[in-house]
Amino acid sequence: MAATLPSTHFSRATFLMCSPEWYDVGYVINPWMAGNLHRPTRDASFAQWRGLYEALGRIADVKLLHPRQGSPDMVFVGHTALVHHGVAAVSSFAHAERQPEERHLRRWLQEAGFLLWDTPRETCFEGEGDALFDSDGRHLWAAHGARTCKYSHGHVAEAWHVQVTSLHLVDPRFYHLDTCFAPLSGGRVLYYPGAFDAMSLALIEAAYPAERRIMATESEAAQFGCNVINIGRDVLMHKASGRLAERLRAAGYAVTELPLGEFLKGGGSAKSLALRLSDLSVTYG
């Protein structure tokens, strides 16, 4: 499939978002949801989502996926697929609560001209939540632990015939890779070391020299400081306490901090709310 040229091509950084029309915390499938049942408010959620939508729209094109009643987590569209060179590896969600999202995303991607790479139901895979390309798109980092099966890593990497490195998440708070790890433009990485086992941490630090690593503290990571959208030198992230934004700026990034606390209650932040559609060469510039 990856050898076939798809019709989809973007000349500008392009992302998919889904409005929070039906967003709520109505069940518990990650630690952040515990204690937050029905606590997100509609007005605050829409205001925060709109702020991210407008900030992203100033530096990228934004497509919209229609939200569906009964799928309150559709707003976290970044978990639904991994896209590269016009091929989309569609998620196979671990929890039944999110599985209805798959058919809506599949339909949208097909109509948009993407080629689909399916993951078997028994092989859990949760899109960019647990699989992220490095800045040149030639290497895939994939996590396993609470939500994605390690076996899925090789299957997904076959879609593009790329090398994949498996990372083991060991802290249940960081249930997805995008909560604790973000490859950045310029060959840097933003990560929280405490989320990984010793072998995984060694793999990360072998791939990125010390001067290319930006480490989040436990407090910063717990405020979803690693769950960022990166386009060229721009970084969009939740406005939180700590000095992570300052360290990113010192590394040369233009950081926009946005209040996204309503979505932290559901276990996501900026990165979870947007799915990259454009190639990395276009996205990072």
Taking alpha carbons only, the member of 99, 58, 102, 73 closest to residue 229 is 58
Model pLDDT, residue 6: 53
- What CA–CA distance (Å, rounded) separates 139 from 161? 10
- Per-residue b or e along 144-166, where b marks 16 or more CB atoms closer than 10 Å to that residue's CB: bbbbbbeebbebbbebbebebbb
Show the tokens assigned to 283.
Answer: 């996205």
Total-model pTM: 0.95
Model pLDDT, residue 129: 97
- What CA–CA distance (Å, rounded) separates 89 from 79? 11
Show the tokens assigned to 264.
Answer: 């932290």
Taking alpha carbons only, the member of 30, 268, 77 closest to residue 171 is 30
Model pLDDT, residue 235: 98
- What CA–CA distance (Å, rounded) separates 272 from 20? 13
pLDDT per residue of the chain (285 residues) written in tens, 0 to 9: 343 445 567 999 999 999 999 999 999 999 999 999 999 999 999 999 999 999 999 999 999 999 999 999 999 999 999 999 999 999 999 999 999 999 999 999 999 999 999 988 888 999 999 999 999 899 999 999 988 889 999 999 999 999 999 999 999 999 999 999 999 999 999 999 999 999 999 999 999 999 999 999 999 999 999 999 999 999 999 998 889 999 999 999 999 999 999 999 999 999 999 999 999 999 998
Phi then psi dihedrals of residue 235, to 5 deg: -130, 125
Model pLDDT, residue 1: 39
The dihedral built from the CA positions of residue 104, 49, 17 and 277, taken in this order, carries a sign that is: negative
Model pLDDT, residue 11: 92
Model pLDDT, residue 3: 39
Model pLDDT, residue 87: 96
CA distances from 140 to 19, 109, 161, 194, 201 (A): 28, 21, 10, 21, 16
What 8-state DSSP symbol labels residue 77? G
Residue 69: HSE in the Cβ half-sphere, 13 Å Cα cutoff: 0
